[in-house]
């Protein structure tokens, strides 16, 4: 019988990873698997051929180890569309000075230059001989504003020398105490490519890009490096694999690195690659498809009001789902069982890519079911065992996909139902906090008690991974809808442009990260930041735990600090009634600042906690820290 088919810095130490000899061997091995000779080129972008030839020549030089190829932007059209898309925010930088790190092939550099018409453009290129043929035409233009400087970008001293050597004659180094140090300097813009494939390790960091970005971010607070002229906006190309640490899209992936940068900068992803396959172990995933669609719809509303239009060929899958599918298809979808499969099948027929939206097993099933719908006979081999026809190889493959999809749908429904209960508890808590009626509060609390008992009983029947999934699902729902977002991703005012992998060389996914410095609040000194970042280590080490538990790890009795932070119980600021239901990873910038200030004023801090490296020392097992 045929089976019935389914229908269609002294920054947080947790981010510091020392590069051992073993790591270098792994990186070399990764590089050897992608030898320069095997790197693909594109007839669409002829520059990729000359870049490949240079890398082949470089790889043959035994004295120069190649641990990763620098990513070069090779699509002039991509650059033009980026500059047009963010034109309003770049207007204030017209005729500014530009510091351009790793200009390489110079396509992004020249496009940005032509757009801004800078009065000076420093090309900080550590390998000028390699990129000579691309940069010389820029340097040799009549009245060229370009200037080539060769320095090692791994050494922070190189950036200090740019200032001491007077390479920015139009800029004025500000004296300590000058109020302009805490203001945005629109006459200087820093850009560059920090993307390598494979990811290049830094000095004491597993990633050079993260090392530099963390240093530049902390320097904005201390007015070090180029921030000595005032706070400077930065635009960096980074490997998309880095973005999970720099600007996660899920609170489940929120760690010390992103929280630290978010303290000092407003982050915006201007360009993003296509979504990666939804598989286990991804460094940067997406939320459930229903949450992503809701979140994207909110951003599209902001864009519509601002008359900010994204080119149709640069739209991501969630954007396309909202604009290309009939409204009733999304509105009437329950996001469970057969409904979600039919929704995905409709999207597939519209040509909207499903990669990254759902687990790969489900995506494969949708594609396979479409094949079966065209030709039902492909499931069968034509051979019989008795009176029963045998399945073909394709039929067995579809059968496995159906089994996996049924399991996913079954688990998803049970877990989502529990998350629904938890979300209802949250709504009742917010009602109690906002209500002035004692009887209504009492009635709501009684409902909370019943729902909490049902929720805890249902969760206890799940495996540990599924319990974690329920908690994560709830946190993602609440943070994506919160009036006070805890992720930079949820603060975005526009959707990023989607690039194609062949628009850079070697082909890979890259992101363009915009970093706007946040001026320091009154009383926030450089020492304040050092201690805040140290405090952050302890707060983010157990980000999946409840806030009271995390605070008790910080110091015995520290859970009483919650009473000193009003935002924790303010629904308008992402707070809630029961602190045991508030996990540390959903804390907003205001909540984290409030807890830190309360901790610093707390009279029961452990001995030695005044030291700016106290938590780093405790985390390393070195206590008390040396003065």
SS3 of 173-205: the string is CCCCCCHHHHCEEEEEEEEEECCEECCCCCCCC
Residue with tokens 């998803």: 412
User: Do 481 and 503 share a structural domain?
Assistant: no
Which residue, among 204, 163, 187, has the nearest Cα to 94 in the 3D structure?
187
The 8 Å CB, 24+ separation contacts for 324-329 are 324/350, 324/352, 325/350, 325/352
Spell out the residues 6+ positions from residue 140 whose beta carbon is closer than 8 angstroms to its own: none
> What are the backbone angles phi and psi of residue 73, rounded to the nearest 5°?
-75, 120
* Residues 147 and 293 reside in one and the same domain: no
Regarding whether 107 and 252 lie in a shared domain, the answer is: yes
Is 423 found in the same domain as 358?
yes
Residue 626, pLDDT score: 55
- On whether residue 37 sits in a domain, the answer given is no
Per the domain annotation, does 417 fall within a domain? yes
Residue 380 counted as domain residue: yes
Neighbours of 107 (CB within 10 A): 20
Task: State whether residue 105 is helix, strand or coil.
Answer: coil
Q: Are residues 56 and 149 in the same domain?
A: yes
Q: Is residue 429 part of a domain?
A: yes
Residues in Cβ contact with 33 at an 8 Å cutoff, skipping those fewer than 6 apart: none
- The verdict on 327 and 416 lying in the same domain is yes
Count of domains forming the chain? 3
Cα separation, 234 vs 213, in Å, equals: 9
Domain assignment present for residue 281? The answer is no
Are 540 and 588 found together in one domain?
yes
User: Can you give the pLDDT at residue 239?
Assistant: 95
Regions of the chain where pLDDT drops below 70: 1-34, 62-68, 280-284, 621-627
* DSSP string over 15-40: G-----HHHHHHHHHHHHHT-GGG--
Whether residues 444 and 368 fall in one domain: yes
What is the predicted pLDDT for the residue at 10?
A: 42
25 lies in a domain? no
Same domain (yes/no): 235, 144? yes
Same domain, 304 and 404: yes
Q: What would the two tokens of residue 567 be?
A: 């935002």
Ramachandran angles phi, psi of 291, nearest 5° = -70, -40
Token digits of residue 214 = 């963390």
Q: Does 425 lie in the same domain as 322? A: yes
Same domain, 82 and 137: yes
Write down the pLDDT at residue 619.
73
Is 483 part of any domain? Answer: yes
Cis peptide before 288 (omega within 30 of 0): no
φ, ψ at 596 (rounded to 5°): -65, -45
| CATH code for the domain of 103 | 3.40.50.150
Q: How far apart are the first and last CA of the chain?
A: 78
- Do residues 585 and 254 lie in contact, with contact meaning Cβ atoms separated by under 8 Å? yes
- The DSSP H or E segment spanning 159 is helix 156-164
Residue 257 placed within a domain: yes
Query: And the tokens for 424?
Result: 């209802």
* Parallel, antiparallel or unpaired: strands 380-385 and 196-197: unpaired
pLDDT digit string, tens, across residues 245-288: 999 999 999 988 899 999 999 999 999 999 988 876 555 678 99
**Structural domain span for residue 325:** 289-491
């Amino acid at each position: 019988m045929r089976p019935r088919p389914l229908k269609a810095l002294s920054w947080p130490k947790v981010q510091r990873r020392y590069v051992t000899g073993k790591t270098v061997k792994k990186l070399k091995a990764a590089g050897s698997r992608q030898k320069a000779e095997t790197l693909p080129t594109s007839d669409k972008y002829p520059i990729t051929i000359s870049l490949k030839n240079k890398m082949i020549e470089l790889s043959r030089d035994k004295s120069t180890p190649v641990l990763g190829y620098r990513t070069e932007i090779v699509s002039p059209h991509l650059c033009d569309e980026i500059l047009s898309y963010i034109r309003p925010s770049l207007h204030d930088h017209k005729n500014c000075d530009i510091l351009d790190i790793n200009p390489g092939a110079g396509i992004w550099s020249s496009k940005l230059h032509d757009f801004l018409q800078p009065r000076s453009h420093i090309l900080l290129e550590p390998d000028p001989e390699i990129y000579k043929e691309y940069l010389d035409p820029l340097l040799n233009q009549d009245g060229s504003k370009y200037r080539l400087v060769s320095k090692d970008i791994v050494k922070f001293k190189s950036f200090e020398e740019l200032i001491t050597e007077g390479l920015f004659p139009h800029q004025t180094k500000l004296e300590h105490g000058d109020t302009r140090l805490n203001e945005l300097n629109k006459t200087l813009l820093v850009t560059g490519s920090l993307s390598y494939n494979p990811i290049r390790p830094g000095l004491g960091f597993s990633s050079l890009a993260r090392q530099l970005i963390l240093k530049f971010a902390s320097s904005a607070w201390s007015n070090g490096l180029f921030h000595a002229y005032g706070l400077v906006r930065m635009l960096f190309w980074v490997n998309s694999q880095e973005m999970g640490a720099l600007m996660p899209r899920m609170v489940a992936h929120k760690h010390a690195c992103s929280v630290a940068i978010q303290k000092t900068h407003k982050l915006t992803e201007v360009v993003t690659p296509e979504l990666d396959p939804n598989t286990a172990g991804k460094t940067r995933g997406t939320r459930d498809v229903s949450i992503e669609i809701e979140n994207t719809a909110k951003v599209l509303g902001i864009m519509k009001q601002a008359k900010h239009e994204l080119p149709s060929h640069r739209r991501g899958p969630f954007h396309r789902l909202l604009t290309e599918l009939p409204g009733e298809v999304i509105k009437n979808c329950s996001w469970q069982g057969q409904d979600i499969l039919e929704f995905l099948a409709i999207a597939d027929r519209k040509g909207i890519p499903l990669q990254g939206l759902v687990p790969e097993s489900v995506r494969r099933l949708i594609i396979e079911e479409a094949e079966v719908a065209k030709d039902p006979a492909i499931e069968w081999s034509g051979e019989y065992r008795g009176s029963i026809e045998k399945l073909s190889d394709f039929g067995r493959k579809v059968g496995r996909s159906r089994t996996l999809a049924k399991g996913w749908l079954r688990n998803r429904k049970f877990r989502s139902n529990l998350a629904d209960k938890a979300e209802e508890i949250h709504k009742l808590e917010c009602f109690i906090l906002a209500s002035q009626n004692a009887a209504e509060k009492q009635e709501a609390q009684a409902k909370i008690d019943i729902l909490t008992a049902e929720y805890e009983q249902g969760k206890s029947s799940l495996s540990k991974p599924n319990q974690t999934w329920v908690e994560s699902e709830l946190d993602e729902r609440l943070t994506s809808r919160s009036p006070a977002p805890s992720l930079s991703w949820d603060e975005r005012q526009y959707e990023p442009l989607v690039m194609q992998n062949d628009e850079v060389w070697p082909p890979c996914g890259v992101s363009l990260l915009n970093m706007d410095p946040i001026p320091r609040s009154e009383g926030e000194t450089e020492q304040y930041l050092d201690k805040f970042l140290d405090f952050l280590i302890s707060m983010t080490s157990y980000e999946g735990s409840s806030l009271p538990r995390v605070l008790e790890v910080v110091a015995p009795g520290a859970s009483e600090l919650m009473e000193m932070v009003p935002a924790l119980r303010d629904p308008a600021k992402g707070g809630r009634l029961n602190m045991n239901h508030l996990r540390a990873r959903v804390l907003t910038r205001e909540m984290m600042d409030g807890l830190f200030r309360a901790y610093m004023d707390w009279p029961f801090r452990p001995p030695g906690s005044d030291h700016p490296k106290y938590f780093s020392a405790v985390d390393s097992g070195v206590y008390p820290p040396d003065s």
